Structure 1
Amino acid sequence: MAASFEYDYLIAGGGAAGLSLAYYISQEPRLADKRVLILEPETKNRNDRTWSFWTDAPTPFDSIVAHEWGQLAFRSPGYEQVFNLTRHRYKMIRGLDFYNFVGQALADTPQIVRMQGTVETLNNTPTGITAETSAGTFTARYAFDSRPPQFQKRPDKYRYLLQHFVGWEVETSRDVFNPQTVEFMDFRGEQQREARFMYVLPFSERRALVEYTLFSAEILPKVEYEAAMRKYLGELGITDFRIEAEEVGAIPMTDHPLPPAEGRHIINLGTRAGRAKPSTGYAFKRIHAHSAHLVRALAATGHPPTNLTGDQWQFSFFDTLLLDIMQRQGEHTRNVFTELFTRNTPERLFDFLDERTSSWENLQVLNSVTPGPFLQSIAHVLRGRPGRRTTE
């Protein structure tokens, strides 16, 4: 006799990953009879973040793209270039627009129930899952867990960095910015033995999101980010501006294994499933690709796919090598990215970071950087321990 469950799918968390999966389920006619419960700790009714990504194909969310750019600038000491993007566009979506867009789609789908509550424990049973939550106990055939990952760090074996930033959306009193060009990485500032750069998304000649971003292990006092942004704006000749909004974030960048599942019936999502790319922190497009991958299998077979993420080992290895360089000699990150942009098109780099390149293309990218730092990192990987900064 088949087991009876209150729901077919329970989604723990209503952020980018949980709502992404719910959206793709709502759009799949073959899953129209599945009962879905989303448990959300809080109502998503404010613009708490933005997501940026590059793409060379239409997305389901193109109607809510706040801005897109056809040019990309890379800057470092001795090398500056503005690239015209051919296949790709760089796009930005505001968090509130995404929440509202998905919320409308789900409101039109009676099979999906949204409930405020915090998931406390998820447990596999022989045929499904049991969830203990602040809203009660629920059963389902599968659970999809998008809560932040919890693990014991192993710094003797793995690398742990953050992509951390503070950003201001500023309005200036005169025309300053080029709304056609995203300032992707501006490494011209002091590195202070870390990877530090400015990132600018201009929306008009007088309005832009300006972020001071670091790839390093420790978050700075907030005043240091703010001082760096004021210095950058001052160098652009901007002394009169208003701060219209602020963003603060810290995204994990690690090669610590993040399992795609916990047992047979609990599938991990988002950063819990390693969807933030370890070497860059970009997650939005990877989250949606993962959701689409899971839903295709659920619709075709009734079960999640055997390969839950579709990840390829060689790209995880490349991520580890770059993380090792960042941890061991963070200021050298600037040189690595300068060589990558000097010797490759952004289109090739985007394909590489999207893990879509062939073995030959991977070799071309790897051959474009000075081999010494990567060979040292390979040696550290083979010895099974991360590189450490020397005391010089």
Structure 2
Amino acid sequence: MATNDPDADVVIIGAGLTGLSLACWLAQLADHNGQAMPRVHLLEPRTTYHNDRTWCFWDREDHPFRELITHRWPQWQVSAGGRRVVQSNPQTPYALLPADALYGYALERIDACPGLSLQQGVTVEGIEEQDGGVQVHTSAGTLNARAMVDTRPPENLPETSTTGFWQVFTGIEIHCPDHGYETTTARLMDFQACDDHPCFVYLLPKDAHHLLVEWTAFQSHRDNQGYRAQLEHWLASEGIKDYRVIRSESSMLPMIPISDERRSGRVIKAGVGAGWMRAATGYHFASCQRGSMLLAQQILAASASNQWHLTPPNVRSRWLEWMDRVFLRALQRHPDQAPQWFLSLFSRTTAPQMGRFMNDQPNLRDALAIASALPPGPFLKAALV
């Protein structure tokens, strides 16, 4: 491989949230710092982008997509069995960013930046790491690069999890005139009666006439059966019958601790496959922005020094990951306790504490508050495994 004239400095496999975020962070930081932009080539199997999902998070940090946030809720709630817990923090609201806005912005940014390029409709067939760089074999030919970032989902995840759950959800965005829900409050978890696993309704009132509503289940098995019937039954029970579906979304998220493969070098992983998604919650956006920023800084430094040795960034602390593993083990053993545990978490902590904790940035005082809000017996047993 000719190391002095590769096809690109960096190849990014995958142009979903992580790949596009990394590209935008590179462009933003290079421009802000007056640095030369390395040649970065993204490979993506899809040929078109659709408004296929929404990303939600607590709006605490700056990132390239912050101006694209369409909705913010200063209050959020958890409810079960007639009991409701509400937290409020207008300084750090719960926020929604739609996929089409992010995709559109990122694609325009890539098109406008001379150092960035995107090739769609391409699959990766093999990777060879060599002394002077990386060869990426694709369905459209072979690319030579100085380094590579792999953002593809993790491989070989179990059909049945013994360490966590599969978060399976079915959602619809509907037009429902004068629906009557409080437009200042995001309903994060409205627990429902289910046979053998925790399930809840997630409802975001976008305005007085539009709702995003999802039925979510924490399952031990990987079965994307969908919950449209349960969701429609719940809507009917709420008296919501005359509505128009604008779009739908569904997914299976691995609430499973994923090895982040701390392998450094010219080839590294990023995104869900590197453990960036929070196993205990399924939230990913905030940690993805943090990881993408740190990785972009490394790539710009490597380009300036021509020392292409990358290290997977730490998106959250090791002790927080340990707390998550303990929580998931306890919840697996006592799924019927999920409503009471989540009610206790939100009732015995403050809104700023939960915002930091859910966005992967708690301090030790936050961690102590979280631990104190939960019953000690089940969690001590789970911690001793």
TM-score (norm 2): 0.91
Report Cα offsets for 1:13-62 as digits up to 9, x if no partner: 11111111111111222553411111111134321111111122343212
Residue 121 to residue 366, structure 1, CA distance change in 2 (3 Å): same
Q: Is the 8 A contact 1:177 1:205 kept in 2?
A: yes
Q: Is the 8 A contact 2:268 2:312 kept in 1?
A: no
Q: Is the 8 A contact 1:186 1:199 kept in 2?
A: yes
- Distance in 2, matches of 1:266 and 1:342, equals 44
2:269 aligned residue: 268
- Distance in 2, matches of 1:253 and 1:40, equals 25
* Alignment partner of 1:251 is 2:287: no
- Distance in 2, matches of 1:125 and 1:31, equals 27
Local SS of the residue matching 1:27: helix
Local SS of the residue matching 2:155: coil
Local SS of the residue matching 1:147: coil
Residue 27 to residue 41, structure 1, CA distance change in 2 (3 Å): same
1:278 aligned residue: 279
* Alignment partner of 1:144 is 2:149: yes
- Distance in 2, matches of 1:121 and 1:31, equals 32
Q: Tell me which amino acid in the other structure corresponds to 1:275.
A: W
Q: 2:193 aligns with which of 179, 190, 194?
A: 190
Q: Tell me which amino acid in the other structure corresponds to 2:148.
A: A
Q: Tell me which amino acid in the other structure corresponds to 1:272.
A: G
* Alignment partner of 1:322 is 2:323: no
Percent same amino acid among aligned pairs?
28
- Distance in 2, matches of 1:304 and 1:216, equals 39
- Distance in 2, matches of 1:154 and 1:246, equals 25
2:51 aligned residue: 47
* Segment of structure 1 superposing worse, 16-25 or 38-47: 38-47
Q: Which 5+ residue runs of structure 2 have no aligned equivalent?
A: none
- Distance in 2, matches of 1:363 and 1:73, equals 21
1:60-75 alignment runs, 5 A limit: 60-75=64-79
Local SS of the residue matching 2:384: helix
Report Cα offsets for 1:300-324 as digits up to 9, x if no partner: 3545664622532111111101111
Q: Tell me which amino acid in the other structure corresponds to 2:141.
A: G
Aligned residues: 375
* Alignment partner of 1:236 is 2:228: no
Q: 1:353 aligns with which of 331, 353, 358?
A: 358
Q: Tell me which amino acid in the other structure corresponds to 1:183.
A: R
Report Cα offsets for 1:214-273 as digits up to 9, x if no partner: 122233633xx2232223222322122222211111111112423254x62111111111
1:294 aligned residue: 295
Q: Tell me which amino acid in the other structure corresponds to 2:50.
A: R
Q: Is the 8 A contact 2:175 2:243 kept in 1?
A: yes
Q: Is the 8 A contact 2:270 2:276 kept in 1?
A: yes
Local SS of the residue matching 1:221: coil
Q: Tell me which amino acid in the other structure corresponds to 1:236.
A: E
1:385 aligned residue: none
- Distance in 2, matches of 1:321 and 1:180, equals 33
Q: Tell me which amino acid in the other structure corresponds to 1:7.
A: A
Q: Tell me which amino acid in the other structure corresponds to 1:180.
A: T
1:81 aligned residue: 85
2:202 aligned residue: 199
Local SS of the residue matching 1:28: helix
2:16 aligned residue: 15
Q: Is the 8 A contact 1:325 1:332 kept in 2?
A: no
Root-mean-square deviation (CA), in Å? 2.2
Q: 2:170 aligns with which of 166, 169, 188?
A: 166
Q: Is the 8 A contact 1:260 1:269 kept in 2?
A: no
Q: Which 5+ residue runs of structure 1 have no aligned equivalent?
A: 381-392
